[in-house]
Amino acid sequence: MYKRFLDKKGKEIITLLALILVLITLNAAHRIENNLRWYDKAVLFVTVPVQYTVSGIIKGSARLVNKYMFLMDVKKDNHRLVAKNIELLNNLYRLEDVVNENSRLRKLLDFKNKLTSRVLSAEVIGKDPRQLFKTVRISKGDANGIKQGMPVLSAQGLVGQVIRTSSDYSDVILVTDPNSNIDAIVQNSRFRGVLEGLGKTECRLKYLERLDDVNVGDVILTSGMGKRFPKGLIIGTVLKVDKKKYGTTQQVTVKPVVDFSRLEEVFVVMDLR
């Protein structure tokens, strides 16, 4: 009978006893020490350590929660700062690109003003993907008066010659193409030869006598012979000179002054003067 009663009412009894214990504890905690009765002291002896433990757990949990919230705020701030840094970097890169483009365009304008021949500006819009020929495609063609054989320049120097035209674009063979042959002259010694492309990033100056005075660093210019190119355009500088002990000629390697991998704007010479 008692067992069934406890099974049914056990939870209520435990709850009631816990409530009484709490009330007694509170009552004891508010009594003056001299007025404590023996059972108050007993209750305090049992419950105070528990209260300290529970209080410590609550305070520790509160600190942990506060620390977690602080870390979450820091993480959010870091995300915002990273996003802001990316935005600022993108703006900086855009500004640098604008500055570089303005500088490049000023150089092109200055170069155009120095030319005595009539020229037409164009943009490089493509390259030969097959790599069989060293050519680039520019944004002007027949509709703009461009014809096959016209010289093409940049602010740095000679680029090449128009080999094909369409209404809206033209293809230009570069000086580095093996099919390119340009009558050239050494600026200092005035010795003449024919500049031939080697197919990569260099050229070769052919038909120079072995005793002709050519040195590393010499500037190579267009000679103007044959009226194919304006006279005195810079093509490149001598990179290497190989004078054989035997034979009548020497091998001269020339590095073009134009960086074709970064070529963006060109001028087409519409007439030679």
69 and 156 belong to one structural domain: no
CA dihedral 211, 206, 258, 162 (to 10 degrees): 150
Better-scored residue on pLDDT, 43 or 144:
144
136 in any annotated domain = yes
263 in any annotated domain = no
3-state secondary structure of 255: strand
Look at residues 75, 99, 114 and tell me which one is the last residue of a structural domain.
114
Better-scored residue on pLDDT, 99 or 171:
171
CA distance 141 to 163: 11
Please answer whether residues 151 and 158 qualify as being in contact, where contact means their C-beta atoms are separated by less than 8 angstroms: yes
86 and 130 belong to one structural domain: no
For residue 8, the enclosing domain spans: 1-114
Look at residues 153, 174, 195 and tell me which one is the last residue of a structural domain.
174
Instruction: Of 1-15, 60-74, 196-210, give the range with the top mean pLDDT.
Output: 196-210
Confidence of residue 59 (pLDDT cuts 50, 70, 90): low
Confidence of residue 119 (pLDDT cuts 50, 70, 90): confident
Residue-wise pLDDT tens digits, 239-249: 999 887 777 88
What are the angstrom distances between the C-alpha of 113 and each of 16, 49, 86, 107, 144? Answer: 103, 94, 40, 10, 20
Average pLDDT value over all residues in the chain: 76
Q: How many structural domains does the chain have?
A: 3
57 in any annotated domain = yes
CA distance 189 to 185: 8
Task: Choose among 112, 104, 105: nearest CA to 269.
Answer: 112
27 and 98 belong to one structural domain: yes
Look at residues 92, 114, 136 and tell me which one is the last residue of a structural domain.
114
206 and 242 belong to one structural domain: yes
Q: Over range 79-85, report the average pLDDT.
A: 69
Task: Give strand ranges (E) for 149-206.
Answer: 151-153, 158-165, 170-174, 181-186, 192-197, 203-206
Specify burial of residue 234 (Cβ count, 10 A radius: 0-12, 13-18, 19+). Answer: middle
265 in any annotated domain = no
Q: Over range 85-113, report the average pLDDT.
A: 60
Better-scored residue on pLDDT, 70 or 264:
264
Between 30-44, 75-89, 159-173, the lowest mean confidence (pLDDT) is in 30-44
CA distance 1 to 206: 123
264 in any annotated domain = no
271 in any annotated domain = no
270 in any annotated domain = no
Confidence of residue 80 (pLDDT cuts 50, 70, 90): confident
Between 88-102, 125-139, 143-157, the lowest mean confidence (pLDDT) is in 88-102
Specify burial of residue 77 (Cβ count, 10 A radius: 0-12, 13-18, 19+). Answer: exposed
Residue 22 tokens, joined: 């709490």
